[in-house]
Structure 1
Amino acid sequence: MSELFPLTEEIWLDWLKDEIRLTEEEPNREKVYELFERAVKDYLCPDIWLEYAQYSIGGMGSPGGIDKVRAIFERAVTAVGLHMTKGQTVWEAYREFENAILSTVQPPPGRIPSREEQELLNTQLGRIHTLFRRQLAIPLMDMEATYAEYEEWSDSGVSENVISQYKKASQQMEKCRPFEESLLAAEPPKLAEYQTYIDFELKEGDPARVQITYERTLAENCLVPDMWAKYTTYLDRQLKVKDLVLSTHERAVRNCPWTMGLWKSYVLALERHGADHHTVSDVFEKALNAGFIQATDYVEIWQAYLDYLRRRVDFSKESSKELEELRGAFSRSLDYMKQDVEERFGESGDPSCIIMQIWARIEAHHCKNMQKARELWDSIMTKGNAKYANMWLEYYNLERSYGDPLHCRKALHRAVQCTSDYPEHVSEVLLTFERVEGSLEDWDVAVQKTETRLNRINEQRAKAAEKEANLARQEEERADQRRKGKSEKKAQKKFQKGTRTGEKRKAEQDDYHDEWNDDAGTEEMGTKPKRNTWKLRRDSLGGTLPLALNLPPGAKRAQQGDDKPELRNDNSSVFISNLAYTLEEPEAKLRTLFETCGPIKQIRPVFSNKGNFKGYGYVQFESTVSVAEALKLDRREVEGRPMFVSPCVDKNKNPEFKVFKYNASMEKQKIFISGLPFSCTKEQLDELCKSHGTLKDVRLVTYRSGKPKGLAYVEFAEEAQAAQAVQKMDGMEVDGNKISVAISNPPRRNMMDKPGSNRPTTDMMPRQVFGSRGRGRTQLSLLPRSLHRQSGPVSKVENGNSAEPVPTTASAAAANAAGETKPLSNSDFARMLLSK
């Protein structure tokens, strides 16, 4: 496993301890030493270095054992001695070892040492003094205790030089203390805290401290390609130490093999530090098998390797081994793009044939082989590039620089015939060429050919424009028909509703007058009407009167048909949408949001007929300058929803105007997350994703009401970070929910939202079919059973005994006879209720 991937500090320690136990009875300690050497190369691990040094102490008895222990301790303090929190343990272990050696060279009490013994004693004391001084010159945690220990140990006291260095280190320690405390308080992987620490050390300018901070960061963030890229770039440009630079590049590609940029930097670093050709080629072959996530990554790594091979060639020789290897690599790269990349990704990755263009230019410029260059350009044009003017002009410039006028003219003539994007430009270049190089006959041929081609192009453009205009006109006619049909339908419904309401009120008034006359006649005959009957009539009559509702001003206007605001100047207005329906006092809320943009002339939130806020409205400013400031508030979060702010445009005058709030194409730096728990907040999602790279935006998708949908979009600073997040987060469980993560690739709205469009059916639940008119209304009756009209005579029941049937009203009987349901009048309700 260690051959393929770096191992963590915990795994290495477990492995090393097992090997140490297995070799206790064997004299072979070299096997364990080799394992320690592999372990210290993966990450910066103070505990592994400490274990390595302590294990080496057990071999002091062998020849040269003490020197070997000292060498390992020296490497340890060089590697991790600057570690602010863990470096002190290595220094203390080193001093304890030297103190143990000191006890063996001190003479017994009462005996005067010989001169050789005294020299050996002084040398050992000098080693311990040096260790104290070196440690006190480095900012470390709890360095005050080390200084106190040195004062107690040293018989001659502490020198002024040591005190001065100790004070400087203490001051540096105080500068670093806030960063160390933030690291201690933060949760892993602490990427943001480490980045802040690195920025601080870069400003301080101490290369050793910058290096140790990067190493500490990568020990906890080993799968962040951007951090490896920053570290290797710093080493390439600042330290430039061959062993350190190359080992770091190797570790980078072992940790993040899917990142093409790290392999490319590795190849360049190998060439920069004079690595042999076999090593560079071996690294390149490993890069091809690393499994990049984009077709273009393979094009870039091939370009880096071909550049390296080109720089090895001595073009002063007509032929050489390096030149043949370069040509073979170019040929192999084209086969690789065609066979491997296209089959894997479904695209070439090099549509403009950049690799072939470079090969052709090398053949023309360095090898003076225009025949090969022309063959390559013929192949480039046959791959679908003949319709582009810039490709022909690139070929023309090559012929102009290294070819002859005959082939220049031939290339321009072919360009005029084949170019479809900018034929006018190609024609102008041809005519300019003939003005400089051609004869009168050549000029006449060029003029005739360009005129014929341009006339044909203009005819095609006119036909295309006419076709587009016809389609637009048809679409406009269909839209007008739809609008007209909706208006007629709405007017018809309004008329029918008004008619029914008028008939109902007239019937109620007639019934009331009839009842009043009947009661009056009864009173004249000496019979008083019942009090509860009169009360019912009065309530029924009062119920027909309009009620004064306590609605917002906007809602009252909406009731009066003023649903569409009248904004006189669209240039000074903005349209606000995507607000929550539950927004309280929307006019005051909008005024608070937009009053910083400039003086406001009018705010018009739109309400429904029932007085409910529709979630959109208009803001009109006194000056058009304020509109630009208001548009900056687009997507500002208002009560958990992104508020959309767009220019106020009359759709009748500009029917094609559209404002797309979000990208509808693939966004390789953005990921789409589904299956999130509804309780997930933006802060929780930010904490979940920031370990994979630098976040630019986090957006939770919600309904208009503000309730979450369980979906989110997260945008990273770079595409590699988004790819890493997909690889690491897909299938992860969040609060018991298994989430799905993919690169953001929303469906095209113009294809997916049109009625009758062929929507993809894969991976989708089958939709329920409701018929041509959609889902029908519920068939349940919402009228209480006591008020249901009975089809036959109603039997009056008193005390459980059946009484004589109560006949229905004349109006009800007429309605039953007609097979229709007529609304009940006040008298009908009165008879039904009083009969109980």
Structure 2
Amino acid sequence: MEQVEKSPISKREDTEMGESDVDENPKSIGKSSSDSESSDSEDEAEQNGQLLTLESELSTNPSNYDAHVQYIKLLRRRGEIEKLREARENMNALFPLSPSMWVEWAKDEASLSNDSDSEAVEKLYERGISEYLSIPLWSEYLNYVQEHDPQVRECSADGISKARNLFERAVTAAALHIAQGSQIWDAYTQFEQAILLTIDQSDIQVKEKQVQRIRSIFHRCLSIPFANLKSTLLAYKAWEVEQGNALCAESDDVDGIEPHVASAYQKAEKMYNARAHLEEQITREDISESERFQNYMSYLEFEKSFGDPARVQILYERAITDFPVSSDLWLDYTRYLDKTLKAGNAVKDVYSRAARNCPWVGELWVRYLLCLESGHASEKEISAVFEKSLQCTFSTLEEYHDLFLTRVDGLRRRMSLAKGDDVLNYSLIRECFQQAADYLSPHMKNNDGLLRLYAYWARLELKLGNDLIAARGVWESLLKTCGSMLEAWKGYIAMEIELGHINEVRAIYKRCYSKRFSGTGSEDICQAWLRFEREFGTLEDLNYAVEKVTPRLEELQLFRLQQESKSFSEATYQREQNLKKTVREKRKSGLSTIDEQSPAKRQKNTSQSPKNLHEEKDTQRQNLAEANVRKEQKGKVEKQVNELLMKDTNPSKTRLYTDQCTAFLSNLSFKAKDEDLHRFFSDVGGVTSIRILYNKFTGQSRGLAYVDFEDDEHLAAAVAKNKQMLLGKSLSIARSNPKQGRKGSIALTAPDGHDFNDLECTNRLSIMLSKLVEEDASNRSGIDESSESKESVEISKGSAHKRVENIQLKGKNTFAVPRNVRPLGWTTNKPRTTEEGDDKPKSNDEFRKMFMKT
């Protein structure tokens, strides 16, 4: 729920009554006493400047509520009647006025008119009571009619009838107002009692009828819960005593009055007692506006639980008078009316007021249009409301989208159901769609909402407009804006398929199969074309589609592989960085844990008892012995690994490829061998070596190869054979472009002549290392089955696996890069050799050369 704050209207109502006396004599507007003439003359220049400033502000920004209020206030002070009327009308055209402003306006006009012109003032009161529920405004209206209408004042039959009708309207609108509604009832009974006094005493029948009328008003009043219900009961009993009935006028009990009246009174009193605490909460002056709003909502939930729509509606009216610009309150109010009252003038009136108070809420306008349609409003009225809604500023484009669709929905329903002369012209729907497209298309590109709008438009062009060319034009217009949106093409194709236009569908596929769509959209449209030709086309059509789609799918597949490889490299690099960071943190935490225990504390802990001291020394000696065993076994394993590595990477079986004059082949048949590539490039010549890449796990060809040539001339001739067929597949040939700074790649050759790439070499060494660790563990298990030996095996395995896991699968093999790591037990007193003194770590190439020395 949005934050609730007091509206400008409420603020205006708070300040207006305090700063300007609405009960002053309106004829004194603009007049000043002799004592204030000097001060007025001094202020006149300042007021003129303020008027010019306010007029300029309102001309540029008519929606400035505060400027309207200040402008009206200044004009009223200066007595400029014509400008004041115009200013009030201009403001009311944009905003509802507060009840106090209506009272002020009506009193000003009443002071300037005669009793014969009271109709104009009454119209002002009517406009005021139609905007908000205000008991003071109703009271002023009733008093004005009784005082200034000649027929009512003279108690003529027409005047009495007019006043009674006005009182009944007031009772219907405000009588259920618990806090102030009794004011209307009191005024009503006083009016009827005044009529009774004018009746001739001899006319007993007329007098008795009037007495019954007054008694009936009292009975109605006593059945409604009010804050001063007991005062009304005392007034009724006193009146009955005047009529000669024996009642105790000073007692607030119900003794002596009619049973049904007493029962209704007791029920009303019980209802008021149940609501008294809620009334107190919404009328308190020491709470914030947000708290008051929440109290209103709680009160409304309480009233709804009793299921009396009249009481709920009067409470909603009280709430919106206090919070006129709370969109949540208006939405809640209108939902309740739609649920309980359905359609009708009362609901339409509430929607009209809601749209005036909160014009920036698109949902209110949408539901306003639906309310008008439910009430069978004319097209002229609905169109006027729709055009007015388009002049408002909404917070999201979706609100404009919903508004346009609601308008189209209504036109479609009325066009489909109307008969005879009431049938609407389809041009209204087309104009509405065009208006929506012109406004929304620049702001909703590649949006599902815009797609729904155009799809709806195209369907109505076919169903209601019977115009296929116009429907195709709608889709073409959408594709100009959202050509990269796959769903737009699919919608267009679906329409043509539904109509059975096979050739048109094929033409659309030819236009869009090569476009790039998001996600797997490009592959999806290619597969959709193939399915379409299988279901609707001939064999020639299918072959043509396959011929067009296959290269596109291969291109997309290669692009996906490149993206996946790139993502894998980035993910591997990130994991390595995280692993290094974790190792550093663990080392730091280990050192800090050792350092945390001070020598004094260690001495304190070890001096607890001689027994504990001996046990701790034994434990330290045992741990030192185990560490020495682990260190010795670790050295043996590393020595054997290094010997095996030197043996397996014999320089005689190692070749260095620089890829400086190399062709890269893709889409190679999995069955292709080196001989096949030699035959393929026999007409080119100059082939020095061929490297087919194999899967490191299965040993099968990956469909990729490198071919080295003697010079660039032979390489250019080989690249010219791009897209030629080899073993039933079209080869993709391009010049190899090794990464900048790459000095070459080592290829380990197996005894059978098979070349291992970097990953395969890593995998091979990893397997050899694991086997070596297992053999070492099994040999030692036969000699010593103690826990120390088992722990040494586990440690050796862990160190071996760590070495394998730290392989960086980028560029050259760097799994055995040396580090200047201080060995366990290292001290500064130990003499350093020349090799240990070299703090600079060796590079990958330097370390590789150590293994490649003959």
TM-score bin (small chain) = 0.5 to 0.7
Instruction: Could you tell me which runs of 5 or more consecutive residues in structure 2 were left unpaired when the two chains were aligned.
Output: 1-90, 246-255, 606-854
* Aligned equivalent of 2:274: 175
Equivalence map 1:269-418=2 (5 Å): 269-313=371-415, 322-338=425-441, 342=443, 352-388=450-486, 390-412=487-509, 414=511, 416-418=513-515
| AA matched with 2:162 | K
Q: 1:548 to 1:18 in 2, by over 3 A?
A: farther
Equivalence map 1:149-168=2 (5 Å): 149-154=235-240, 155=244, 158-168=257-267
Q: Hey, what's the Cα distance between the residues in 1 that align with 2:102 and 2:602?
A: 82
- Could you give the per-residue CA deviations for residues 287-333 of structure 1, whole angstroms, max 9, x where no partner exists? 11111122222222222222223334359999986212221222222
- Could you give the per-residue CA deviations for residues 496-544 of structure 1, whole angstroms, max 9, x where no partner exists? x99xx9xxxxxxxxxxxxxxxxxxxxxxxxxxxxxxxxxxxxxxxxx99
SS at match of 2:130: helix
Contact preservation (8 Å) 2:296, 2:319: yes
CA shift, 1:474, in A, is 4.0
Q: Hey, what's the Cα distance between the residues in 2 that align with 1:212 and 1:378?
A: 54
Q: Hey, what's the Cα distance between the residues in 2 that align with 1:7 and 1:298?
A: 28
Equivalence map 1:110-149=2 (5 Å): 113=202, 117-149=203-235
SS at match of 1:275: coil
Count, aligned residues = 491
Q: Hey, what's the Cα distance between the residues in 1 that align with 2:513 and 2:446?
A: 27
* Aligned equivalent of 2:126: 37
Decide which structure has greater helix share.
2
* Aligned equivalent of 2:559: 460
SS at match of 2:432: helix
Q: Hey, what's the Cα distance between the residues in 2 that align with 1:285 and 1:367?
A: 23
- Could you give the per-residue CA deviations for residues 594-653 of structure 1, whole angstroms, max 9, x where no partner exists? xxxxxxxxxxxxxxxxxxxxxxxxxxxxxxxxxxxxxxxxxxxxxxxxxxxxxxxxxxxx
Q: Hey, what's the Cα distance between the residues in 2 that align with 1:241 and 1:71?
A: 25
Contact preservation (8 Å) 1:258, 1:292: yes
Equivalence map 1:438-587=2 (5 Å): 438-476=537-575
Contact preservation (8 Å) 1:365, 1:402: no
CA shift, 1:131, in A, is 0.5
Q: Hey, what's the Cα distance between the residues in 1 that align with 2:176 and 2:185?
A: 10
Contact preservation (8 Å) 2:103, 2:137: yes
CA shift, 1:198, in A, is 1.4
Q: Hey, what's the Cα distance between the residues in 2 that align with 1:450 and 1:223?
A: 60
| AA matched with 2:104 | D
Q: Hey, what's the Cα distance between the residues in 2 that align with 1:317 and 1:170?
A: 58
SS at match of 2:95: coil
1:188 aligns with 2:289: yes
Q: 1:164 to 1:338 in 2, by over 3 A?
A: same
Decide which structure has greater strand share.
1
Contact preservation (8 Å) 1:136, 1:146: yes
Q: Hey, what's the Cα distance between the residues in 1 that align with 2:422 and 2:316?
A: 47
Equivalence map 1:690-769=2 (5 Å): none
- Could you give the per-residue CA deviations for residues 732-751 of structure 1, whole angstroms, max 9, x where no partner exists? xxxxxxxxxxxxxxxxxxxx
Q: 1:349 to 1:432 in 2, by over 3 A?
A: closer
Q: 1:466 to 1:124 in 2, by over 3 A?
A: same
Q: Hey, what's the Cα distance between the residues in 2 that align with 1:431 and 1:261?
A: 45
Q: 1:159 to 1:260 in 2, by over 3 A?
A: same
| AA matched with 2:494 | N
| AA matched with 1:61 | R
- Greater radius of gyration (CA): 2
Equivalence map 1:99-114=2 (5 Å): 99-107=193-201, 113=202
Q: Hey, what's the Cα distance between the residues in 1 that align with 2:324 and 2:507?
A: 56
- Could you give the per-residue CA deviations for residues 272-299 of structure 1, whole angstroms, max 9, x where no partner exists? 2222222222222221111112222222
CA shift, 1:404, in A, is 2.5
TM-score of the two chains, using structure 2 as the length reference: 0.52
CA shift, 1:130, in A, is 1.3
1:17 aligns with 2:107: yes
* Aligned equivalent of 2:345: 243
| AA matched with 2:176 | L
CA shift, 1:420, in A, is 4.2
* Aligned equivalent of 2:141: 52
SS at match of 2:465: coil
Q: 1:427 to 1:338 in 2, by over 3 A?
A: closer
Q: 1:549 to 1:260 in 2, by over 3 A?
A: farther
Instruction: Could you tell me which runs of 5 or more consecutive residues in structure 1 were left unpaired when the two chains were aligned.
Output: 108-112, 502-542, 551-836
SS at match of 1:204: coil
Q: 1:411 to 1:166 in 2, by over 3 A?
A: farther
| AA matched with 2:142 | A
1:74 aligns with 2:168: yes
Contact preservation (8 Å) 1:6, 1:42: yes
CA shift, 1:88, in A, is 0.8
Q: Hey, what's the Cα distance between the residues in 2 that align with 1:491 and 1:33?
A: 87
- Could you give the per-residue CA deviations for residues 322-372 of structure 1, whole angstroms, max 9, x where no partner exists? 212221222222223357xx4xxx979876433222110111233332222
SS at match of 1:28: helix
SS at match of 2:216: helix
Q: Hey, what's the Cα distance between the residues in 2 that align with 1:408 and 1:440?
A: 17
Contact preservation (8 Å) 1:400, 1:408: yes
The percent of aligned pairs where both chains have the same amino acid is 32
* Aligned equivalent of 1:86: 180
- Could you give the per-residue CA deviations for residues 440-488 of structure 1, whole angstroms, max 9, x where no partner exists? 3333344454544433222211111112223334445556677788899
Equivalence map 1:588-737=2 (5 Å): none
Q: 1:139 to 1:347 in 2, by over 3 A?
A: farther
Q: Hey, what's the Cα distance between the residues in 1 that align with 2:585 and 2:258?
A: 97
Q: Hey, what's the Cα distance between the residues in 2 that align with 1:431 and 1:317?
A: 49
Q: Hey, what's the Cα distance between the residues in 2 that align with 1:492 and 1:294?
A: 56
SS at match of 1:421: coil
